[in-house]
């Protein structure tokens, strides 16, 4: 992605460990729990490989 000229490149895990959390539906409904799941689990580089899919995102420089 950087070779394509994108900046601020980040790779995120999709369908990762969050799906294995107990009571995910209830935790997802709580905004602070949802934020923790997104910030700490799905973007954690050390467990990214446990994700079924990866998503690369970046910005196009002006």
Extract the tokens encoding 55: 């998503």
Q: What spatial distance separates the first Cα and last Cα of the chain, rounded to whole Å?
A: 16
CA distance 59 to 54: 17
Predicted pLDDT of residue 17 = 75
Predicted pLDDT of residue 14 = 77
Model-level pTM?
Answer: 0.58
Would you list the domain boundaries of the chain? 2-59
CA distance 49 to 42: 10
- Per residue in 2-56, pLDDT (tens digit) is 899 999 998 887 777 777 788 888 988 999 998 888 877 766 777 777 777 888 9
Which helix (H) or strand (E) element contains residue 33? helix 31-36
Among 62, 61, 50, 59, CA closest to 12? 50
């Amino acid at each position: 992605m950087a070779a394509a000229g994108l900046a601020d490149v980040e790779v995120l895990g999709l369908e990762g460990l969050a799906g294995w959390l107990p009571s995910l539906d209830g935790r997802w409904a709580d905004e602070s729990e949802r934020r923790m799941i997104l910030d700490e689990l799905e973007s954690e580089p050390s467990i990214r490989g446990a994700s079924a899919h990866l998503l690369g995102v970046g910005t196009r420089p002006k």
